[in-house]
Structure 1
Amino acid sequence: MSVDVRTEIVIDAPHEEVAAYAADPSKAPSWYANIKSVEWETPPPLTVGSKIAFVAEFLGRRLAYTYEVTEYTPNDRLVMSTTQGPFPMETTYTWTALEGDQTRMTLRNRGVPSGFTKLAAPLLATKMRKANTADLRTLKTLLESQH
């Protein structure tokens, strides 16, 4: 069973500002509650082929994984994927400029769990949706407070 979770939020901040902040892996711990650390394995700036190591905690487990950027169009779309661990995943961010300096940010996580996580796929999807919604709200609060 695959997991495909899509969440979105409208942020009252300019499109380029939202995209630049969210696409900077170094800033991920400031708005992702589960991400504990980030380390660049390739030198910045972010580009296709960049590799970034993350350490996260999810459902009481420590997860260490490396994302590789597979697609990046600044201010539009970022796609990262990992093939490591029991839950290989692809994460996609998209940003859409709206009227009045607002931005719609969409966050999508999808993958096919294996091993023990395969049995928990429905629970994983529910927990991921809840976590992603909270993380996007944190990002919104963070970016809107700068205006």
Structure 2
Amino acid sequence: MAIVDITSEIVIARPRHDVAAYASDPDTATSWYANIAAVEWKTAKPARLGSRIAFVATFLGRRLSYTYRVTELVPDERFVMRTDEGPFPMETTYAWSDAANGATRMVLRNRGEPSGFGAIAAPVMAAAMRRANSRDLARLKSILEDTGEGE
């Protein structure tokens, strides 16, 4: 089975709490993830262990619907979600650490095991995910640094 494992990171000139609070709030996903079109809470807000959140996205020209379950939540340090329902098993991890001058290093990791056609297309999928993650983190940085969101 092909495994897709993509890690991207960026330094954002904002305190860790601000970056973590904004990035780990599923309601902000459509603002900084270019491919996410809609978010629907399946459980009560806010996000906590076991929370379920459905996403609708477009990726490689296809419309995808999937539901994540929050599996790890350490405020201002880690936020991990795994697909509960969707086209293939995927885990998304956000990790935050302090960087120089009060900035925050954010690491975004997507790890999954596509099957069927997805397994055959895994190298193409991985490259597209890497590009998308880099663009999404740059957009998050712009939102948080330029507009003061999350304050």
Band of TM-score, shorter chain? over 0.9
Hey, what's the Cα distance between the residues in 1 that align with 2:85 and 2:117?
15
Give the match's secondary structure for 2:104: strand
Contact 1:12 1:101 (C-alpha < 8 Å) held by counterparts: yes
State the superposition RMSD in angstroms.
0.9
Aligned residues: 147
**Structure-2 residue corresponding to 1:15:** 16
| Letter of the structure 1 residue corresponding to residue 67 of structure 2 | T
Q: 1:109 to 1:140 in 2, by over 3 A?
A: same
Q: Deviations over 1:16-45 (max 9, x none)?
A: 000000000000000000000001110111
TM-score, structure 1 as length reference:
0.97
**Structure-2 residue corresponding to 1:119:** 120
Return 5+ residue gaps in structure 2 as ranges.
Answer: none
Identify which range, 79-88 or 36-45, moves more after superposition: 79-88
TM-score, structure 2 as length reference:
0.95
Hey, what's the Cα distance between the residues in 2 that align with 1:68 and 1:84?
9
1:61 maps to 2:66: no
Hey, what's the Cα distance between the residues in 2 that align with 1:92 and 1:136?
13
Give % identity.
59
Hey, what's the Cα distance between the residues in 2 that align with 1:79 and 1:123?
24
Q: Deviations over 1:49-104 (max 9, x none)?
A: 00000000000000001000000001000000004333210000000012312000
| Letter of the structure 2 residue corresponding to residue 103 of structure 1 | T
1:18-97 matches, cutoff 5 A: 18-97=19-98
Contact 1:86 1:115 (C-alpha < 8 Å) held by counterparts: no
Hey, what's the Cα distance between the residues in 2 that align with 1:57 and 1:141?
22
Identify which range, 108-117 or 80-89, moves more after superposition: 80-89
Hey, what's the Cα distance between the residues in 2 that align with 1:46 and 1:83?
15
1:122-141 matches, cutoff 5 A: 122-141=123-142
Return 5+ residue gaps in structure 1 as ranges.
Answer: none
Contact 1:88 1:112 (C-alpha < 8 Å) held by counterparts: yes
Hey, what's the Cα distance between the residues in 2 that align with 1:75 and 1:32?
20
Hey, what's the Cα distance between the residues in 2 that align with 1:32 and 1:13?
19
